[in-house]
Chain A
């Protein structure tokens, strides 16, 4: 093999073993778990490929995988996940490994995906590989999540079909019901960079879905995810892992939340309308502490922010008093009222109360005067115009020398 895969987990265990043997790598005695072989593969073979990536095969493979397109990220996420959480399921893994995703037909692949509650789009030549990877990842994660794996396919498929069609209606109708759910996903989402390919969306759907499986089942959020802003797979995967392993620990989120806060906040309101059922039941237990934490942090960070769907409250830039030669006047305070509440509340709320009161009083007077002046001036102009002599000739005749006419001098 001239090149070694950077992502050995795509191979089945048997293939990994054979590869290792072919390259004179000693195998541990007896049947081992797949990731043992994966690690061996990574250590020995991938290292030959890229000598730099040795120290921690999983992490380095994350780095290697980063640039690789499509579902590679899922591998990076999957590996640590597998490592951390796969304690059992040795026999199960072996069973699943026997099913090589690449050998499945399109229909079978679709069926397998549906089993995991994912509604794939058409599986064609172009999309097949993506779905294969997704299924593989699902399979690896599926045994871990274990218990609730038997997805109620009927309901899930029904909901999934709804995903494709009625996401918007679901999102908007259900978003208010579960604000708690929003936070959970919002946490993870802002972590993700916004520049994601649709492929990773699907991966994410899977990931999300798997998380949902742990408690209740709401696959709807998958579509929301996919429909919503793209999400970074790595972060999802890593957060996925964290969630799985330390599902109830708010510490993780506390740690994560402050870093997220800024970006998160902007995402938060944006996400709000798009959140469908989210993972309603799922989040019940978990988010309680985390929510509180997040809310506190958000309140601390942005106490005066207006919560809008887009997270953006556009308002005119307040002219800086005294800058650019602008005289500092009380009229400047007048502007505040026309601005959004954002500015009003932001800038020294208490201090502005008094000037505002005065402003309101003062404002009424000049307004009338303005109108009055305007009327007076307009009447004056009208009168002047009326009194002017009608000019028959060309006003420029003087210059053209065509004819002499009376030129109004007033």
Chain B
């Protein structure tokens, strides 16, 4: 079982509201900047993409890695973070 980071817990514990995309677990500043320049400057936009991909972990990770150069661990963290958020709030 993966131990959840503080960032993960913080994100999943409440509605994301207008949080920046860097608030999502797995998204560091660099990746966040890349996402923001492409228009994903808010967490909810990234969530939108996640939902568009039908909450498919693998596809989402592939997308994140392919389009934005995220590392596999980053993508995995991000996907699971969003997934958990969806469980909690969606």
| Residues of A participating in the B interface, judged by any CB pair closer than 8 Å | 110, 119-124, 126, 161, 164-168
* 26 A-B pairs with C-beta separation under 8 A: A110-B38, A110-B39, A119-B39, A120-B39, A121-B39, A121-B40, A121-B45, A122-B38, A122-B39, A122-B40, A122-B45, A122-B49, A123-B38, A123-B39, A124-B49, A126-B52, A161-B41, A164-B41, A164-B42, A165-B18, A165-B20, A165-B41, A165-B42, A166-B18, A167-B18, A168-B18
Q: Which residue of A lies closest to B44 (CB)?
A: A164
Contacts of A124 in B (CB 8 A): 49
Binary interface profile of B, 26-59, with partner A (CB < 8 Å = 1, else 0)? 0000000000001111100100010010000000
Q: Which residue of B lies closest to A167 (CB)?
A: B18
Given A119-B39, A121-B40, A164-B41, 11 other A-B contacts at CB below 8 A? A121-B39, A122-B40, A122-B45, A122-B49, A123-B39, A126-B52, A164-B42, A165-B18, A165-B42, A167-B18, A168-B18
Contacts of A161 in B (CB 8 A): 41
| Shortest beta-carbon distance from B28 to chain A in Å | 19
CA A392 to CA B42, docked complex, whole Å: 72
| Residues of B participating in the A interface, judged by any CB pair closer than 8 Å | 18, 20, 38-42, 45, 49, 52
Contacts of A120 in B (CB 8 A): 39
Residue picked from A110, A119, A124, most chain B C-beta under 10 Å? A124
Contacts of A123 in B (CB 8 A): 38-39
CA A168 to CA B17, docked complex, whole Å: 11
Contacts of B18 in A (CB 8 A): 165-168
CA A105 to CA B38, docked complex, whole Å: 12
| Shortest beta-carbon distance from B8 to chain A in Å | 22
CA A122 to CA B20, docked complex, whole Å: 15
| Shortest beta-carbon distance from B51 to chain A in Å | 12
| Shortest beta-carbon distance from B22 to chain A in Å | 12
Contacts of B40 in A (CB 8 A): 121-122
Q: Which residue of A lies closest to B46 (CB)?
A: A122
Q: Which residue of B lies closest to A168 (CB)?
A: B18
| Shortest beta-carbon distance from B84 to chain A in Å | 23
Contacts of B52 in A (CB 8 A): 126
| Shortest beta-carbon distance from A117 to chain B in Å | 15
Residue picked from B39, B41, B49, B52, most chain A C-beta under 10 Å? B39
CA A181 to CA B40, docked complex, whole Å: 30
CA A390 to CA B41, docked complex, whole Å: 75
Q: Which residue of A lies closest to B17 (CB)?
A: A168
CA A88 to CA B58, docked complex, whole Å: 53
CA A123 to CA B40, docked complex, whole Å: 10
Q: Which residue of A lies closest to B52 (CB)?
A: A126
Contacts of B38 in A (CB 8 A): 110, 122-123
| Shortest beta-carbon distance from B14 to chain A in Å | 16
| Shortest beta-carbon distance from B45 to chain A in Å | 6
CA A244 to CA B26, docked complex, whole Å: 48
Q: Which residue of A lies closest to B42 (CB)?
A: A164
Contacts of A121 in B (CB 8 A): 39-40, 45
CA A95 to CA B40, docked complex, whole Å: 31
Contacts of B49 in A (CB 8 A): 122, 124
| Shortest beta-carbon distance from B62 to chain A in Å | 14
Contacts of B20 in A (CB 8 A): 165
Q: Which residue of A lies closest to B39 (CB)?
A: A122
Q: Which residue of A lies closest to B36 (CB)?
A: A161
CA A242 to CA B6, docked complex, whole Å: 54
| Shortest beta-carbon distance from A110 to chain B in Å | 7
CA A124 to CA B38, docked complex, whole Å: 9
CA A299 to CA B44, docked complex, whole Å: 41
Contacts of A119 in B (CB 8 A): 39
CA A388 to CA B22, docked complex, whole Å: 73
Q: Which 9 A-B residue pairings sit nearest by Cβ, starting from the closest?
A: A122-B39, A121-B39, A122-B40, A122-B38, A164-B42, A164-B41, A165-B18, A121-B45, A120-B39
